[in-house]
Each structure stands twice: as C-alpha cells, then as structure tokens.
Structure 1
Amino acid sequence: MAKSDQPIIIKKVKKAAHGHHGGAWKIAYADFVTAMMAFFLLMWLISMTTKEQKIGLAEYFAPPNVSPSNSGAGGVMMGTALDKSGAKSSAARDAAMGAPGQEGAARQTGAGSPSDREANRPAAGVQANHSAAASIRQALQNMPEFAEISRNIVIEVTKEGVNVSLVDQEGRSMFPEGSTQPHERTRRVLEALVPTLRRLPNRLAITGHTAASRPGAARGVDSWSLTAGRALAVREILSGAGLPNDRFISVVGRADTEPVFPDNPYLSPNRRLNIMLLSEAPPLPPNVPR
C-alpha cells in the first residue's frame, strides 16, 4: 500500500497561567478595617460620655471663626457673620428712614414695645456668648507655641456664659501637685489670653476645683485652701497682664465638691480651674426707653 504524502500535524495545547491580580484589594480591605475600627471606637465614646461632655467636645472642635447663629450683629464679631438670606434692613432702621407702612405695622404687632425688646435680649446674649467663645478659640489657634497645652483648655458655652476650663490630663497638669502657683506654661497662656479678654465685655468668675483624695492616700494640702489659692493666683496673673480689677466678680475654691465625673471623683480631669465669662445683657442705645 502506498504511503500518504500528507504531513502529520501534532497540536500541543499550552495552559496559560492566570495574570497577577495586583494588591489593590489589600488596600481596600485595610481601609475597610480602619473604618470599622473608627466606627466602633466612636460608638464606644458616645456610650461612655455624658451629655455635658458631648457638648464640650462639640464646642472644642467647632470652627473658631464661624458663628452658630445667623447674624453676628451685637456680638463680638460686630456683624461680620452673614445672614442666610443676605443683608436685611431692620424694622427700627426702616422706620427711622420713613419706610411706608412700617410705623403702622410696629403699632399693630407691638414689635417696638419694651417687653418685646426685653424678650429679644436672651437670644442676643446667647449669640454674644458664641461669638466670645469663637474669639477665644481663635486667639489660641493664633498661638502655635501653645498648641500642646491647648489640649488642656476646654471652652464651652453654658447658660451662665462662656466657661474656659484649665483641665488636668493624664501626664500633663496645669499646676504642680500641691502648689497654688501654676506651671510657667500655664502662666504664659493665661497672659496671652488677656488681650482677647480685654476686648470682651463679660465679667469673670474664677473657680478652683480638685479631685478627691483616694482612700488611704497621705493627707496633703487642704483642698479648700488649695483650690481657693489657685483661683486667686489666676486672678493675679490676669490682673497683672492688664485685665482691669473691676472685671472680676468672684474668686472661690470648691475643693472636690463638684467633680466633672461624679462616678469617679479621683480622675485627674476633676482637677480644673474655671474662668467663667458671665453673660452680660447687651447695652441699649441711650435714646431707647428701658
């Protein structure tokens, strides 16, 4: 039988290996794990803090140059904050300029009555307090040399006014243990705040606090004398830096009777000194009846 001249073809199938996927999935997974850790840490902090502490944290991280109210008129910012809907003319100014219908509307609604002006004073006071707190935060931000100690300064707006607290933290205190005189860094930041405090109309109430002594601890300086002495020392520093004496309304020591953490009065943040800028009624123009 004759041999076929057709060539024999042998096919070899090569299996190709899968391409390299890269490491992008590892980065995405790491970001996911980090986000979950931050979320659970946030949930833990929310569950462990009180309402007052949440307010203090919100005030601490609030932008210092933004007023929470719609307008800055009458406050420390002197009207630099803008209203949401733009510039508006007040009823009093329109009436003075002879705007038609304004006088009759004021008589009908009683907007110009003394009782309504008194009712508007609390809102103006709250607005002024937020502006004052923003001014103090801005002053601290303008002093980068005190960036580390600024973590020990808590500024919050309360119903009494603006509270500036010098708070001890673990590993960093504002006063040496058992001493009524502050550390040099505390003295310097107090002196640096005086120009801002001078521009504010508020009177000051200074109060010293301390933590409770642990059972069995050696008895040291009397807590009443210690807190009162620290409050007096802060008043002397502010006064010596140029704050007028008539701006102080009270200087007292509370010992350990008002802890920030009542469930654990031994914690170091209970050692603090409060400088309260008391709410002041905004002055009325001299031609407005009181």
Structure 2
Amino acid sequence: MPLAPVRRQGAWKLAYADFLTALCAFFLVMWLIHGASNDQRADIAGQFSSSSKLEPHLTTVTEPESNLILEQLYASSLLQQHRDNVFVQANDGGIRVELIDLERMPLFNKGEATLNDRGTLVINLAAKAIAGLGLPVAIEGHTDSAPMLRAGYSNWELSSDRANAARRALLAGGVDASQIRSVSGLADTRPLEDGRADLPQNRRLSIVIQIE
C-alpha cells in the first residue's frame, strides 16, 4: 500500500513571515523617502537599481510616494462617500484631485461662487484628507463654456471666486495656510476632454497636491 503524502502544516507560517518582512521593508523605504531631499532620494533609488542609469521619472523616486498618497486618498471619507463627485489622477507634478460640479449633484448653485451644503461637505472632507499629508497644494477653478448672464462678470471671475471659496473652506477644514501655494481661475480653458469645453463636468475645482 503506498504511503499517504505528508502534509506540510507549517508552510503557511513561512509564507506569512516572508510577507510581513517584505511589508516592514516597504514601510521602512517609504519612511526614508518621505524625509529625504531630492538628491538623497536619487541616491536611494540607485541602491535598488541594477542599471548604472535611471530613467528620468525615477530619479526622485516620486512614483512610490504618489502611490502611497493615492492609497490614503482612496481610503479617505472623501472618496468613500462622494466618489461620484471626485476624480483622482497622478501626473508628473503630483496628484490632481478633481471635484466635479455635477448637474444633479452640484457643489455650487448655478452661476454662484458660494459653496452649497454639498460643496461645503465635500471640501471639508477634502481638507481632512489633504491636511494630514502636509504637502503644498494649488487650487484651480474651472467652468464650462456657457456664458455668464451678468454684466461685467464672466467665467473668469466665476472660476476665480470659486477657487477662492475652496481655499477658504480648505483652511476652515484644517489645511494649513502654508500649504496653499497658488489659487487661480481658469474659466473654460482647461476642459477635461480636449475640444469639449461645453460639457457640464468641466465645472469643477482642482486641488493639485504637489510632491516635491
């Protein structure tokens, strides 16, 4: 009679130990990167590269830091509770958090620069998510191409006023004044989809988290 195969009952423990070791190493690297200068980050990257030359976008090791920030944002109440109003995207300069003023879920009343109740709630949750990062931010106001019907008041004024309303709300929500690097109104010059400035989703606030 052939012998039954012997089961290795402790194999999962070794796999779990390896996982914990890798996790600890990951957070150690993240801690080192967060407190390092750009030159120091480049040196750290060199330790993990098998090539003598690094690709330009890796020299400051911003990609792991961006991923870590994205994870924190996706775990925040902002995205857990208001995903329809929020779009997040990483780019070369940092991370853009787009707060979309949807037709049926607006952040502002039409043609007005004062946040409504929903807008106040969304900005407050954005402030809580951003304040803990301690990183500089730029605030942009955007509109669609529909013209304003008020004399002497265009989409340039509206987008600027909305951006400043967002700035005040972020400060009230806990973002430190030193984190605010710029506030600008861009009217309909930066549509989400090229050539479609008429789309209502272009009415939005952009909070650009800058990774230095």
Using structure 2 for the length normalisation, give the TM-score: 0.69
Give the structure 1 partner of residue 84 of structure 2: 151
- Which of 133, 150, 156 is the matching residue for 1:200? 133
For 1:248 and 1:119, how far apart are their aligned partners in 2?
25
Superimposed CA distance per residue, residues 152-175 of structure 1 (whole angstroms, 9 cap, x where no aligned partner): 110111111111001123422221
Is residue 130 of structure 1 aligned with residue 60 of structure 2?
Answer: no
Structure 1 gap segments, 5+ residues each: 1-69, 80-90, 93-105, 281-290
Give the structure 2 partner of residue 188 of structure 1: 121
Shift of 1:196: 2.8
For 2:58 and 2:133, how far apart are their aligned partners in 1?
21
Shift of 1:72: 4.8
**Alpha carbons 2:130, 2:175 under 8 Å: kept:** yes
> Structure 1 residues 129 and 212, CA, compared in 2 at 3 Å: closer, same or farther?
same
> Structure 1 residues 190 and 170, CA, compared in 2 at 3 Å: closer, same or farther?
closer
Give the structure 1 partner of residue 149 of structure 2: 219
Runs of 4+ in 1 over 3 A off after TM superposition: 70-76, 118-121
Shift of 1:263: 2.9
Is residue 235 of structure 1 aligned with residue 172 of structure 2?
Answer: no
Paired residues, number: 172
Give the structure 2 partner of residue 140 of structure 1: 77
> Structure 1 residues 238 and 74, CA, compared in 2 at 3 Å: closer, same or farther?
farther
Q: 3-state DSSP class of the match of 1:190?
A: helix
Superimposed CA distance per residue, residues 39-65 of structure 1 (whole angstroms, 9 cap, x where no aligned partner): xxxxxxxxxxxxxxxxxxxxxxxxxxx
Larger Rg: 1
Give the structure 1 partner of residue 21 of structure 2: none
For 1:167 and 1:142, how far apart are their aligned partners in 2?
12
Give the structure 2 partner of residue 210 of structure 1: 143
Using structure 1 for the length normalisation, give the TM-score: 0.52
Shift of 1:73: 4.5
> Structure 1 residues 158 and 180, CA, compared in 2 at 3 Å: closer, same or farther?
same
Give the structure 2 partner of residue 162 of structure 1: 95
From the two aligned structures, give the one with the greater strand fraction: 2
Shift of 1:139: 0.6
Structure 2 gap segments, 5+ residues each: 1-24, 35-42
Greater length-normalized contact order (CA 8 Å, ≥ 6 residues apart): 2
Q: For residue 126 of structure 2, what is the amino acid of its counterpart?
A: L
What pairs up with 1:1-290 in 2 under 5 angstroms?
71-75=26-30, 121-123=59-61, 125-140=62-77, 147=81, 149-213=82-146, 219-220=149-150, 221-280=153-212
Shift of 1:210: 0.4
Q: 3-state DSSP class of the match of 1:122?
A: coil
